[in-house]
Amino acid sequence: MKDGFAARKRKEKIFKYACLALTFSSVLILVVLLYHIGQTGNKYLSLKFLTSWPSRFPHKAGIKAGIWGTIWLISLTAAISIPLGVLSALFLEEYKIPGKIGKIVEINVANLAGVPSIVYGLLGLTVFVRYFGLDRSLLSGALTLSLLILPVIIVSSREAIKAVPDAIRFGAYALGASRYQVVFWHVLPIALPGILTGVILALSRAIGETAPLIIVGALTYISYTPESVMDEFTVLPLQIYNWASRPQEEFHYLAAGGIIVLLTVMLSMNFIAVVIRQKTSKKVKI
Amino acid sequence: MTNEAVMTCRNLNIFYGEKQAVFDVDLDILKNKVTAIIGPSGCGKSTLLRSLNRMNDFVPTFSMNGVINFEGKNVLKEDPMVVRTRIGMVFQKPNPFPKSIYNNITWGPKIHGHKVNFDELVENSLKAAALWDEVKDRLHDSALDLSGGQQQRLCIARTVAMKPEVILMDEPCSALDPRSTIRIEDLINDLREDYSIAIVTHNMQQAARVSDYTAFFYEGELIEYGVTDGIFTNPQEKKTEDYITGRFG
Ligand SMILES: Nc1ncnc2c1ncn2[C@@H]1O[C@H](COP(=O)(O)OP(=O)(O)OP(=O)(O)O)[C@@H](O)[C@H]1O
Ligand SMILES: [Mg+2]
């Protein structure tokens, strides 16, 4: 009884401040990082930087190829992974595969979300680049990235679909609706905001991927914008990686500039995801 | 007073997996009458009701045998989607779609390709559900902005819009306040003109007020069935009497 209450209160306080310190240290690291990148990166950050091809001369080099490559790659990845992922999630949730097979599929989809991206790179290299002969094309890259983010899209879409109240489904069925009508008129629209949030977060992860793209053969020296899905390509993170690994300091400034561009794109995508969630989260509650 | 039955259940046995929930029930739902289904919690009222329009099909372990005659066919053998267009259902908790009031009503007829004037349909359905005056100026507002009682009447309007033969209601007032309850009861009284209604309720007074016939269930069996006045004033079975006088339940 002696040290009961006072000691507990003291411990509570210590715990609270420890947590606070840890939280702030991670925020601090982020701030320092951003500050450092901002300092080194703004030297080259200009319109010219955004519209020039890569070059041996730092003052001439730009990130145009990376920007266009990323836009192409992510659009293509979105076009492949969103329909596939959302339809898979709808199927798994609404059409429920019965018995053991269903369980196995479920567990595997969840596990796939945790597989390191480099493994997907190797898979992409074997299957798309070599077996299907797609070479080091945008299509190979997009298919590989789609595989990578598909589990994330499926898992988050399933959560969104699960959150649709059963009462809505039964209300629709009681009017004589078919499963297809219930799914496409009610379940999908209600789950859409949640699905979109997951999709955008998955895509913004794909934007930052480097390892699997190196493996499927994305290049770093590209001086044209892609014109078809079979063209070779580079992407922002690869370009940054290339610059950062050069010995001359000037290139490190370029890398920092590239990082600013990349971060801007990613943060805007995350911001859109947050807005979508805010705008629509208060709608359905039954 | 004609007592023509629209639905006749014969030898209905209903199971969830191995467990039997309803035993050998014979029950008639009479045309243009309100039939109340009463009994203690867990006695199989909802199970029976949901079987009438095949809503139990969504329970994986569910199975049933027997006959439910409806419009000259056995409901058990028909396409459940067709059955549900003819036998509507109102649920315990109001469950409007998160769409406009207007679209809540038109959705059912629309997906079935009914060729009707939708403005008229909306007006008539809302009038039938005694909701028209309250919402006629905001038909395109979200149904979720309505009060609970209004939402429930909207769900009734949505059911009525399909022009079913029978309407099933599973404790339609249990989530509502007393005033909304009275409104729904009045509404059921009026709906009897055009529809045959089966209503599950835990509220004895409600059963006495709205129904013409009452069926008392106990542990999955139909104990007593007859004219409501008779059941409440002069029950034949000891169990019925105990239940309606509140000795258990
Ligand atoms: N989906 C289900 N799966 C398995 N058993 C069920 C299911 N639904 C109901 N039961 C069982 O069937 C029996 C009858 O349940 P039912 O819901 O029909 O009762 P009820 O009379 O409607 O009760 P209440 O008045 O509480 O709503 C109960 O023993 C219940 O546990
Ligand atoms: Mg019930």
Cα gap A206→A269, rounded to integer Å: 12
What's the B43 CA to ligand 1 centre distance in angstroms? 7
Q: Are residues A106 and A70 in the same domain?
A: yes
* Between A178 and A47, residue with greater pLDDT: A178
Total domains in the fold of chain A = 2
**Residue type at A278 in one-letter notation:** Q
Q: Are residues A53 and A10 in the same domain?
A: no
Instruction: Please tell me which residue of chain B has the smallest CA distance to A185.
Output: B107
pLDDT digits (tens, 9 = 90+) for A257-284: 888 889 888 888 888 888 887 777 655 5
A1 in contact with chain B, both atoms CB, cutoff 8 A: no
3-state DSSP call for residue A216?
coil
Task: Give chain A positions within 8 Å (CB) of B159.
Answer: 174-175
Q: Are residues A116 and A95 in the same domain?
A: yes
pLDDT digits (tens, 9 = 90+) for B50-79: 999 999 999 989 999 999 999 889 989 999
Task: Give chain B positions within 8 Å (CB) of A190.
Answer: 98
Interface touch A170/B82, C-beta < 8 Å: no
Interface touch A286/B111, C-beta < 8 Å: no
Count of C-beta atoms within a 10 Å radius of residue B30: 20
CA distances from A70 to A176, A237, A261 (A): 47, 9, 11
Nearest to B129 by CA among B156, B166, B104: B156
Six-digit token string for B31:
């045309």
Kindly report the backbone phi and psi dihedral angles of residue A167, in degrees, each rounded to the nearest multiple of 5, phi listed first. -55, -35
A180 in contact with chain B, both atoms CB, cutoff 8 A: no
B44 CA closest ligand 1 atom index: 18
The predicted model gives B223-249 an average pLDDT of 87
Q: Are residues A85 and A159 in the same domain?
A: yes
Which residues form the pocket of ligand 1, taking CB atoms under 6 Å from any ligand atom?
A: B 16, 21, 39, 41-47, 59, 61
Of the partner residues B84, B91, B158, the one whose CB lies closest to the CB of residue A167: B91
Cα gap A242→A247, rounded to integer Å: 11
| Least confident window among A196-210, B15-29, B41-55, B197-211 | A196-210
Q: Are residues A37 and A98 in the same domain?
A: no
Of the partner residues B81, B93, B162, the one whose CB lies closest to the CB of residue A178: B81
Q: Are residues A78 and A112 in the same domain?
A: yes
Q: Quick check: B249 pLDDT over 60?
A: no
Q: Are residues A6 and A79 in the same domain?
A: no
* Between A57 and A148, residue with greater pLDDT: A148
Nearest to B78 by CA among B99, B103, B51: B51
Find the domain containing A131 and state its range. Answer: 47-280
In a domain, A285, yes or no: no
Task: Give chain B positions within 8 Å (CB) of A286.
Answer: 93-95
Q: Are residues A169 and A209 in the same domain?
A: yes
In a domain, A286, yes or no: no
In a domain, A186, yes or no: yes
Contacts of A130 (CB under 8 A, 6+ apart): none
What's the burial of B80, exposed, middle or buried (CB within 10 Å: 0-12/13-18/19+)? middle
In a domain, A104, yes or no: yes
**What are the b/e assignments for A157-196, b being 16+ CB within 10 Å?**
bbbbbeebbeebbbbbbbbbbeeebbbebbbbebbbbbbb
In a domain, A22, yes or no: yes
Q: Are residues A212 and A161 in the same domain?
A: yes
Q: Looking at residue A217, which CATH number applies to its domain?
A: 1.10.3720.10
Q: Quick check: B92 pLDDT over 60?
A: yes
3-state DSSP call for residue A194?
helix
Cα gap A281→A27, rounded to integer Å: 27
A186 in contact with chain B, both atoms CB, cutoff 8 A: yes
Q: What is the distance, to the nearest Å, from the Cα of residue A208 to the centroid of all Cα atoms in its chain? A: 7
Q: Could you tell me the pTM of the whole model? A: 0.84
DSSP letter string, B94-148:
----SSBHHHHHHHHHHHTT--S-HHHHHHHHHHHTT-HHHHTT-TTSBGGGS-H
Interface touch A178/B58, C-beta < 8 Å: no
Look over chain B and give the mean of its residue pLDDT values, rounded to a whole number: 92
In a domain, A275, yes or no: yes
Confidence at residue A107, expressed as pLDDT on a 0 to 100 scale: 85
Six-digit token string for B28:
């008639």
Strand partners, B230: none
Q: Of the ligands numbered here, which is closest to the C-alpha atom of B221?
A: 1
The predicted model gives A55-79 an average pLDDT of 86
pLDDT digits (tens, 9 = 90+) for A171-195: 999 999 999 999 999 999 999 988 9
Q: Are residues A29 and A160 in the same domain?
A: no
Cα gap B219→B214, rounded to integer Å: 16
Residue window 47-76, chain B: list those with CB within 8 Å of chain A: 53, 55, 58
Edge-to-edge order in the sheet of strand B166-170: B87-90, B166-170, B196-200, B34-38, B213-218, B221-227
Q: Are residues A72 and A183 in the same domain?
A: yes
Interface touch B84/A173, C-beta < 8 Å: yes
Strand partners, B54: none
Q: Are residues A106 and A148 in the same domain?
A: yes
The predicted model gives B164-188 an average pLDDT of 91
Q: Of the ligands numbered here, which is closest to the C-alpha atom of B22?
A: 1
Nearest to B7 by CA among B159, B196, B162: B196
| Least confident window among A241-245, A272-276, B148-152, B162-166 | A272-276
Cα gap A46→A48, rounded to integer Å: 5
3-state DSSP call for residue B15?
strand
